[in-house]
Amino acid sequence: MLPELSKIKGIHPGAILKREIKSRGLKNNELANSLNEHAQTISSILNEKRGINPSLID
């Protein structure tokens, strides 16, 4: 069996984040507020138009 990371290789981080948000019952703006980030930035990531940079994770 492949490690979990190998299974999702090549998938945009936004797709993974979108799945997590849905499974936790969160809204995009709730995530944006908790990260101190603009809702548009989160939306762009979730729509795979923007990547995730290290400053977002900190």
pLDDT in tens, 29-53: 999 999 999 999 999 999 999 999 8
Distance CA 24, CA 38 (A): 20
More confident residue, 58 or 16: 16
pLDDT of residue 5 exceeding 90, the answer is no
Kindly report the pTM of this predicted structure.
0.74
